[in-house]
């Protein structure tokens, strides 16, 4: 079976490489020439553990990349994995998706093909795509993606479920083709949810909005804990022991970011509103998240009074650990707020590509210490904390492994604002640090 994957970002590239590893002949298609050039040299344009090794293993064997849509001619299945970012009103912007569908048309002929939409799309989109492809010999399948950046390759081979939405469940042809492609997962007894388009589309939004709501719930509670002297970490732990609640996504912090939760929550709100239903709970989830970072920033400001001329180490740049993705990163939002207040920021992330992306995003000068405005990006955590007035933890890494005694000697003032509640409070306090967490002292 020959497969094309249109869009080679976080989702498409993992899909292409993963399917190649499962033995399929795969072509990745993207409009970004630089990306394709890099990929054909076996270099990954984005950072994910094990991704580059797998890419190198299959490139120019059963995996190739191109900017041309021509390979669609030979393909039995086409996966659409283009971005669906947020538009100015908060809706999912489907321009990339529709443009890919239009381009694809030139290469469709009488041969039967399955077109699979992997991008996160609002309810009704698969139906619209089928409408656009009316008269062509295709079936359109909804197959939302659930991978987590940072462990995306692992997630490809170990999904918790595979969701497949079809136009007509009595039409067995596309179902059988999808079950063949995902035969490896069938053998592993991964649950398959075979349903209609609308249900499949909504499963994706429901899952992301629920997780976001869990985060906003604990974040709101952390504000009260902070005020009354309760410890949110102990509360989360106790709550999580209740199996009905579970311990995941209950760590209070400065809010969720990334390329999915913020935009998907907003897009779900719009889908409710477009159907004249008031999305009370989901709107609150979004609002709590927007407020959380401001609340934390006020905490920092409240400590110093005036941030003008103060220097901070911001630990973590990407939106979560082990990724280079800066989209909607709370660390970047915090950096912007600090810079706007006249502070000097020394940023650090363990992932080299996250540091590179920050340098490129702010168009910083490239030198040994990378600087521009009042922002410096450093390769070494000890360089980042040197002479700072405060340390701010913005991304959820385990910084306890660092030498906090040494850090204590390097900083100007021993103050930590732990935006992810990751530090061993007792330990750092014993070393003379003042500690401010999120609902935790």
Ligand X SMILES: NC(=O)c1ccc[n+]([C@@H]2O[C@H](COP(=O)([O-])OP(=O)(O)OC[C@H]3O[C@@H](n4cnc5c(N)ncnc54)[C@H](O)[C@@H]3O)[C@@H](O)[C@H]2O)c1
Enumerate the known binding-site residues for NAD(+).
Answer: 30, 35, 84, 120, 149, 263, 327
Among 72, 175, 260, 293, binds ligand X (CB under 6 A): 260
The yes or no reply on residue 143 touching ligand X (CB under 6 A) is no
Six token digits for residue 176: 């059988």
In the bound complex, which residue of the shown chain has the CB atom lying closest to ligand X?
9
The yes or no reply on residue 378 touching ligand X (CB under 6 A) is no
* Stated length of the chain: 441
The yes or no reply on residue 29 touching ligand X (CB under 6 A) is yes
Other beta carbons less than 10 A from residue 53's beta carbon: 12
The yes or no reply on residue 219 touching ligand X (CB under 6 A) is no
The yes or no reply on residue 147 touching ligand X (CB under 6 A) is yes
- The minimum distance between CB 106 and ligand X, in angstroms, equals 13
Cβ atoms of residues 162 and 183 within 8 Å: no
The yes or no reply on residue 99 touching ligand X (CB under 6 A) is yes
The yes or no reply on residue 8 touching ligand X (CB under 6 A) is yes
Stretch that binds ligand X, among 8-16, 292-300, 377-385, 391-399 (CB under 6 A): 8-16
Cα–Cα distance for residue pair 223/225, rounded to 1 Å:
5
| Active-site residue identified among 260, 345, 422, 438 | 260
- The minimum distance between CB 258 and ligand X, in angstroms, equals 7
- The minimum distance between CB 348 and ligand X, in angstroms, equals 23
The yes or no reply on residue 6 touching ligand X (CB under 6 A) is yes
Please provide the DSSP assignment of 312-359 as one string. EEEE--SSSTT----TT-HHHHHHHHHHHTT-EEEEE-SSHHHHHHHH
- Nearer CB in complex with ligand X: 55/313: 55
The yes or no reply on residue 326 touching ligand X (CB under 6 A) is no
Specify binding-site residues for substrate: 146-149, 204, 249-253, 257, 320
Looking at the chain, the number of H-run helices and the number of E-run strands are 17, 15
The yes or no reply on residue 10 touching ligand X (CB under 6 A) is yes
Stretch that binds ligand X, among 96-104, 169-177, 289-297, 412-420 (CB under 6 A): 96-104
Burial status of residue 305 (CB atoms within 10 A of its CB: 0-12, 13-18, 19 or more): exposed
- The minimum distance between CB 192 and ligand X, in angstroms, equals 18
Q: Which residues are CB-contacts of 270 (< 8 A; sequence separation ≥ 6)?
A: 89, 90, 91, 92, 122
- Nearer CB in complex with ligand X: 148/405: 148
Cα–Cα distance for residue pair 224/202, rounded to 1 Å:
33
Cα–Cα distance for residue pair 232/221, rounded to 1 Å:
8
The yes or no reply on residue 404 touching ligand X (CB under 6 A) is no
Which residue, among 3, 35, 39, has the nearest Cα to 114 in the 3D structure? 3
Annotation marks residue 260 as catalytic: yes
Q: How far is CA 440 from CA 36, 230, 417, in A?
A: 47, 7, 11
27 DSSP β-pair partners:
4, 64
Residues known to be catalytic: 260
Residues that bind ligand X (CB under 6 A): 6-12, 29-32, 35, 81-84, 96, 99-100, 119-120, 145, 147, 149, 259-260
């Amino acid at each position: 079976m020959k497969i094309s994957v249109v869009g080679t970002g976080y989702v498409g590239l993992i899909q292409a490489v993963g399917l190649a590893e499962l033995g399929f002949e795969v072509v990745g298609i993207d409009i970004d020439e630089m990306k394709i050039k890099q990929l054909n040299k076996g270099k990954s344009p984005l950072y994910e553990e094990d991704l580059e090794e797998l890419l190198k293993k299959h490139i120019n064997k059963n995996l190739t990349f191109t900017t041309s849509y021509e390979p669609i001619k030979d393909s039995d299945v086409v996966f659409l994995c283009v971005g669906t970012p947020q538009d100015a009103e908060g809706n999912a912007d489907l321009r990339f998706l529709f443009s890919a569908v239009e381009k694809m048309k030139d290469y469709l002929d009488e041969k039967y093909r399955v077109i699979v939409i992997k991008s996160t799309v609002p309810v009704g989109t698969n139906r619209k795509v089928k409408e656009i492809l009316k008269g062509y010999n295709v079936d359109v399948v909804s197959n939302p993606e659930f991978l987590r950046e940072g462990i995306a390759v692992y997630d490809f081979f170990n999904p918790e479920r595979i969701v497949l939405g079809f136009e007509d469940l009595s039409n067995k042809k596309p179902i059988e083709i999808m079950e063949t492609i995902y035969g490896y997962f069938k053998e592993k007894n991964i649950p398959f949810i075979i349903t209609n388009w609308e249900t499949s589309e909504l499963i994706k939004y429901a899952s992301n909005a629920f997780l976001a709501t869990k985060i906003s719930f604990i974040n709101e509670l952390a504000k009260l804990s902070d005020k009354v002297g309760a410890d949110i970490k102990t509360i989360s732990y106790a709550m999580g022991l209740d199996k009905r609640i579970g311990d995941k996504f209950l760590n209070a912090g400065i809010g969720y970011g990334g390329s999915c939760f913020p935009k998907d929550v907003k897009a779900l709100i719009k889908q409710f509103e477009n159907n004249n239903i008031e999305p009370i709970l989901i709107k609150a989830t979004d609002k709590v998240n927007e407020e959380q970072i401001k609340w934390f920033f006020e905490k920092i400001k409240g400590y110093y009074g005036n941030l003008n001329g103060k220097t901070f180490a911001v630990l973590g740049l990407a939106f979560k650990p082990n990724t280079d993705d800066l989209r909607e990163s709370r660390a970047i939002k915090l950096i912007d707020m600090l810079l706007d207040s006249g502070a000097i920021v020394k940023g650090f992330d363990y992932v080299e590509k996250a540091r590179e992306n920050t340098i490129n995003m702010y168009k910083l000068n490239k030198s040994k210490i990378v600087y521009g405005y009042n922002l410096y990006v450093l390769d070494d955590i000890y360089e980042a904390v040197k002479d700072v007035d405060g340390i701010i933890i913005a991304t959820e890494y385990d910084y306890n492994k660092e030498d906090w005694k040494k850090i204590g000697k390097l900083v100007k003032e021993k103050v930590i604002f732990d935006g992810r509640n990751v530090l061993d409070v007792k330990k750092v306090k014993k070393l003379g640090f003042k500690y401010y967490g999120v609902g935790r002292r």
